[in-house]
Amino acid sequence: MLISAVCVVLAIVVAVALGTSHRDTTVDSSLAHGDRNPLASVDAGPSRTAPSATTAVTTPPTTVPRPVPMVIPAGPAPAISRITTTDPVIFLGIDDGLIRDPAALDFLEANRWPFTAFLVNGALQADPTFWARARAIGGTVEAHSLTHPNLTKVSVDQLRREVCGSADAVEQATGVRPRLFRPPYGAYNDTVKGIASECGFIALVMWKGATNDGRVDLQEGVLKPGDILLMHWRADLLTNLQQVKALADAQGLRIARLEDYLQPIP
Protein backbone atom coordinates (compact mmCIF):
# COMPACT_ATOMS: atom_id res chain seq x y z
CA MET A 1 0.00 0.00 0.00
CA LEU A 2 2.81 2.38 1.02
CA ILE A 3 4.73 1.45 -2.12
CA SER A 4 1.70 2.20 -4.30
CA ALA A 5 1.31 5.67 -2.78
CA VAL A 6 4.95 6.46 -3.31
CA CYS A 7 4.67 5.44 -6.97
CA VAL A 8 1.70 7.76 -7.49
CA VAL A 9 3.57 10.74 -5.98
CA LEU A 10 6.62 10.06 -8.13
CA ALA A 11 4.45 9.90 -11.26
CA ILE A 12 2.92 13.33 -10.50
CA VAL A 13 6.35 14.92 -9.93
CA VAL A 14 7.66 13.56 -13.23
CA ALA A 15 4.58 14.86 -15.14
CA VAL A 16 4.94 18.39 -13.74
CA ALA A 17 8.64 18.49 -14.58
CA LEU A 18 8.01 17.39 -18.15
CA GLY A 19 5.28 20.05 -18.61
CA THR A 20 7.56 22.82 -17.33
CA SER A 21 10.38 21.72 -19.62
CA HIS A 22 8.07 21.82 -22.67
CA ARG A 23 6.79 25.33 -21.85
CA ASP A 24 10.30 26.78 -21.44
CA THR A 25 11.44 25.21 -24.69
CA THR A 26 8.53 26.87 -26.59
CA VAL A 27 9.33 30.35 -25.22
CA ASP A 28 13.06 29.99 -25.90
CA SER A 29 12.31 28.91 -29.47
CA SER A 30 10.26 32.03 -30.19
CA LEU A 31 13.02 34.29 -28.84
CA ALA A 32 15.68 32.45 -30.83
CA HIS A 33 13.81 33.34 -34.05
CA GLY A 34 13.55 37.01 -33.13
CA ASP A 35 9.85 36.88 -32.21
CA ARG A 36 8.50 38.85 -29.27
CA ASN A 37 8.08 36.69 -26.17
CA PRO A 38 4.30 36.17 -25.90
CA LEU A 39 4.60 36.04 -22.12
CA ALA A 40 6.53 39.33 -21.80
CA SER A 41 4.83 42.69 -21.16
CA VAL A 42 4.62 45.24 -24.01
CA ASP A 43 6.94 47.64 -22.20
CA ALA A 44 8.37 48.32 -18.80
CA GLY A 45 5.96 51.20 -18.13
CA PRO A 46 2.55 51.13 -16.45
CA SER A 47 0.16 48.45 -17.50
CA ARG A 48 -2.12 49.33 -20.41
CA THR A 49 -5.69 48.28 -20.96
CA ALA A 50 -6.39 46.98 -24.43
CA PRO A 51 -8.94 49.13 -26.31
CA SER A 52 -12.43 47.75 -26.44
CA ALA A 53 -14.23 46.94 -29.65
CA THR A 54 -16.24 50.15 -29.30
CA THR A 55 -13.19 52.46 -29.09
CA ALA A 56 -13.40 55.12 -31.84
CA VAL A 57 -10.73 54.95 -34.51
CA THR A 58 -9.48 58.23 -35.93
CA THR A 59 -9.54 58.27 -39.72
CA PRO A 60 -6.47 59.94 -41.24
CA PRO A 61 -7.17 63.05 -43.34
CA THR A 62 -7.78 62.57 -47.04
CA THR A 63 -4.58 62.94 -49.03
CA VAL A 64 -4.74 65.31 -51.99
CA PRO A 65 -3.27 63.54 -55.02
CA ARG A 66 -0.10 64.94 -56.55
CA PRO A 67 -0.96 67.20 -59.51
CA VAL A 68 -0.27 65.87 -62.97
CA PRO A 69 0.90 68.94 -64.92
CA MET A 70 -0.48 69.95 -68.29
CA VAL A 71 2.72 69.95 -70.30
CA ILE A 72 3.34 73.02 -72.45
CA PRO A 73 5.18 72.35 -75.73
CA ALA A 74 8.03 74.52 -76.93
CA GLY A 75 7.22 77.39 -79.25
CA PRO A 76 5.01 80.49 -79.02
CA ALA A 77 3.30 80.72 -75.63
CA PRO A 78 -0.19 79.18 -75.98
CA ALA A 79 -3.31 80.87 -74.59
CA ILE A 80 -4.90 78.63 -71.94
CA SER A 81 -8.27 79.13 -70.27
CA ARG A 82 -8.77 75.61 -68.89
CA ILE A 83 -6.21 73.14 -67.56
CA THR A 84 -6.49 69.64 -68.96
CA THR A 85 -7.01 67.58 -65.80
CA THR A 86 -9.40 65.07 -64.27
CA ASP A 87 -8.76 66.45 -60.77
CA PRO A 88 -11.77 68.27 -59.24
CA VAL A 89 -9.94 71.61 -59.16
CA ILE A 90 -10.29 75.19 -60.38
CA PHE A 91 -7.81 78.07 -60.37
CA LEU A 92 -7.86 81.72 -59.31
CA GLY A 93 -6.09 84.43 -61.31
CA ILE A 94 -6.45 87.81 -59.57
CA ASP A 95 -5.45 90.82 -61.68
CA ASP A 96 -3.99 94.32 -61.42
CA GLY A 97 -3.42 94.94 -57.69
CA LEU A 98 -4.85 98.46 -57.51
CA ILE A 99 -6.91 97.93 -54.33
CA ARG A 100 -5.27 95.82 -51.65
CA ASP A 101 -7.79 94.65 -49.06
CA PRO A 102 -6.25 92.76 -46.11
CA ALA A 103 -9.64 91.10 -45.51
CA ALA A 104 -9.29 89.34 -48.86
CA LEU A 105 -5.95 87.93 -47.75
CA ASP A 106 -7.54 86.89 -44.46
CA PHE A 107 -10.17 84.93 -46.40
CA LEU A 108 -7.63 83.30 -48.70
CA GLU A 109 -5.45 82.33 -45.76
CA ALA A 110 -8.34 80.99 -43.66
CA ASN A 111 -9.44 78.76 -46.54
CA ARG A 112 -5.88 77.80 -47.48
CA TRP A 113 -6.50 78.76 -51.08
CA PRO A 114 -3.55 79.14 -53.44
CA PHE A 115 -3.92 81.91 -56.00
CA THR A 116 -2.04 83.66 -58.78
CA ALA A 117 -1.69 87.45 -58.65
CA PHE A 118 -1.22 88.89 -62.15
CA LEU A 119 0.14 92.33 -61.26
CA VAL A 120 0.83 95.49 -63.22
CA ASN A 121 3.89 97.60 -62.57
CA GLY A 122 3.36 100.21 -59.87
CA ALA A 123 0.79 98.22 -57.90
CA LEU A 124 3.46 95.61 -57.30
CA GLN A 125 5.96 98.14 -55.96
CA ALA A 126 3.44 100.29 -54.06
CA ASP A 127 2.82 97.86 -51.19
CA PRO A 128 5.64 95.34 -50.73
CA THR A 129 4.35 94.30 -47.28
CA PHE A 130 0.96 93.32 -48.70
CA TRP A 131 2.48 91.27 -51.50
CA ALA A 132 4.98 89.65 -49.16
CA ARG A 133 2.07 88.43 -47.06
CA ALA A 134 0.19 87.35 -50.19
CA ARG A 135 3.13 85.18 -51.20
CA ALA A 136 3.57 83.83 -47.67
CA ILE A 137 -0.01 82.51 -47.52
CA GLY A 138 0.12 80.69 -50.86
CA GLY A 139 0.03 83.33 -53.57
CA THR A 140 2.29 83.44 -56.61
CA VAL A 141 3.07 86.69 -58.40
CA GLU A 142 3.00 86.54 -62.20
CA ALA A 143 3.01 89.29 -64.85
CA HIS A 144 0.24 91.42 -66.36
CA SER A 145 2.22 94.08 -68.32
CA LEU A 146 3.72 97.37 -67.19
CA THR A 147 0.93 99.85 -67.95
CA HIS A 148 -2.07 97.67 -68.94
CA PRO A 149 -2.49 98.58 -72.64
CA ASN A 150 -4.26 96.55 -75.28
CA LEU A 151 -1.19 94.71 -76.55
CA THR A 152 -2.66 94.11 -80.00
CA LYS A 153 -2.76 97.87 -80.63
CA VAL A 154 0.80 98.90 -79.75
CA SER A 155 4.04 98.83 -81.72
CA VAL A 156 6.26 95.80 -81.58
CA ASP A 157 8.83 97.75 -79.57
CA GLN A 158 6.26 98.84 -77.00
CA LEU A 159 4.84 95.34 -76.89
CA ARG A 160 8.26 93.95 -76.06
CA ARG A 161 8.79 96.60 -73.35
CA GLU A 162 5.39 95.85 -71.79
CA VAL A 163 5.85 92.09 -71.75
CA CYS A 164 9.57 91.65 -71.07
CA GLY A 165 9.61 94.69 -68.79
CA SER A 166 6.85 93.22 -66.63
CA ALA A 167 8.86 90.02 -66.25
CA ASP A 168 11.89 92.03 -65.17
CA ALA A 169 9.80 94.03 -62.67
CA VAL A 170 8.31 90.95 -61.05
CA GLU A 171 11.71 89.30 -60.77
CA GLN A 172 13.21 92.42 -59.23
CA ALA A 173 10.40 92.71 -56.67
CA THR A 174 10.11 89.01 -55.71
CA GLY A 175 13.40 87.42 -56.69
CA VAL A 176 11.54 84.93 -58.91
CA ARG A 177 11.22 85.18 -62.68
CA PRO A 178 7.53 84.88 -63.70
CA ARG A 179 6.56 82.21 -66.21
CA LEU A 180 2.88 83.00 -66.77
CA PHE A 181 1.50 86.13 -68.44
CA ARG A 182 -2.06 87.41 -68.54
CA PRO A 183 -2.57 89.95 -71.34
CA PRO A 184 -4.62 93.02 -70.35
CA TYR A 185 -8.28 92.74 -71.45
CA GLY A 186 -7.48 89.21 -72.66
CA ALA A 187 -6.29 90.74 -75.92
CA TYR A 188 -3.60 88.82 -77.80
CA ASN A 189 -2.52 87.70 -81.24
CA ASP A 190 0.32 85.63 -82.67
CA THR A 191 2.78 88.50 -82.19
CA VAL A 192 1.90 88.76 -78.49
CA LYS A 193 2.31 85.00 -78.08
CA GLY A 194 5.67 85.00 -79.84
CA ILE A 195 7.13 87.90 -77.85
CA ALA A 196 5.81 86.43 -74.59
CA SER A 197 7.74 83.27 -75.40
CA GLU A 198 10.87 85.30 -76.18
CA CYS A 199 10.55 86.98 -72.77
CA GLY A 200 10.51 83.60 -71.00
CA PHE A 201 6.77 83.03 -70.52
CA ILE A 202 5.44 79.53 -71.11
CA ALA A 203 1.75 80.46 -71.47
CA LEU A 204 -0.79 83.25 -71.73
CA VAL A 205 -3.39 82.67 -69.01
CA MET A 206 -6.99 83.37 -70.03
CA TRP A 207 -10.21 82.35 -68.23
CA LYS A 208 -13.48 80.42 -68.39
CA GLY A 209 -15.32 82.61 -65.88
CA ALA A 210 -15.10 86.03 -64.25
CA THR A 211 -16.32 87.57 -61.00
CA ASN A 212 -18.09 90.92 -60.91
CA ASP A 213 -20.03 92.69 -58.15
CA GLY A 214 -20.56 89.56 -56.08
CA ARG A 215 -21.52 87.23 -58.92
CA VAL A 216 -19.65 84.63 -60.97
CA ASP A 217 -20.21 84.77 -64.73
CA LEU A 218 -19.32 81.53 -66.52
CA GLN A 219 -18.77 81.19 -70.26
CA GLU A 220 -20.26 77.68 -70.31
CA GLY A 221 -22.85 78.17 -67.57
CA VAL A 222 -21.17 75.80 -65.13
CA LEU A 223 -17.75 75.39 -63.53
CA LYS A 224 -15.76 72.48 -64.89
CA PRO A 225 -12.59 70.83 -63.56
CA GLY A 226 -9.58 72.78 -64.75
CA ASP A 227 -11.39 76.10 -65.23
CA ILE A 228 -9.41 79.28 -64.63
CA LEU A 229 -11.27 82.27 -63.15
CA LEU A 230 -10.61 85.96 -63.72
CA MET A 231 -10.78 88.13 -60.59
CA HIS A 232 -9.43 91.57 -59.64
CA TRP A 233 -7.79 93.16 -56.63
CA ARG A 234 -10.53 95.69 -55.97
CA ALA A 235 -13.18 96.62 -53.41
CA ASP A 236 -15.51 93.68 -54.20
CA LEU A 237 -12.83 90.97 -54.13
CA LEU A 238 -13.84 89.55 -50.73
CA THR A 239 -17.49 89.28 -51.78
CA ASN A 240 -16.46 87.64 -55.04
CA LEU A 241 -14.26 85.15 -53.23
CA GLN A 242 -17.19 84.20 -51.01
CA GLN A 243 -19.34 83.60 -54.09
CA VAL A 244 -16.64 81.42 -55.65
CA LYS A 245 -16.44 79.38 -52.44
CA ALA A 246 -20.19 78.80 -52.39
CA LEU A 247 -20.16 77.69 -56.03
CA ALA A 248 -17.08 75.49 -55.71
CA ASP A 249 -18.37 73.84 -52.53
CA ALA A 250 -21.71 73.12 -54.19
CA GLN A 251 -19.96 71.41 -57.10
CA GLY A 252 -17.36 69.55 -55.04
CA LEU A 253 -14.43 71.51 -56.48
CA ARG A 254 -11.36 72.74 -54.65
CA ILE A 255 -8.93 75.55 -55.42
CA ALA A 256 -5.52 74.47 -56.69
CA ARG A 257 -2.26 76.23 -57.54
CA LEU A 258 -2.10 77.09 -61.22
CA GLU A 259 1.70 76.80 -61.36
CA ASP A 260 1.49 73.17 -60.18
CA TYR A 261 -0.54 72.28 -63.28
CA LEU A 262 1.40 74.18 -65.94
CA GLN A 263 4.91 72.97 -66.70
CA PRO A 264 7.07 73.29 -69.81
CA ILE A 265 8.46 70.21 -71.52
CA PRO A 266 11.75 69.38 -69.74
Task: List the one residue out of 65, 109, 116, 104 whose CA is nearest residue 257.
Answer: 116
The residues facing 254 across adjacent strands are: 89
Q: Supply the pTM of this predicted model.
A: 0.75
76 within 8 A of 198, measured Cβ to Cβ:
no
Largest CA distance in the chain: 128
Taking only the tens of pLDDT, the chain with its 266 residues reads: 434 443 433 344 334 343 443 333 333 333 233 333 322 222 233 333 333 333 333 333 445 568 888 888 788 999 999 999 999 999 999 999 999 999 999 999 999 999 999 999 999 999 999 999 999 999 999 999 999 999 999 999 999 999 999 999 999 999 999 999 999 999 999 999 999 999 999 999 999 999 988 899 999 999 999 999 999 999 999 999 999 999 999 999 999 999 999 987 66
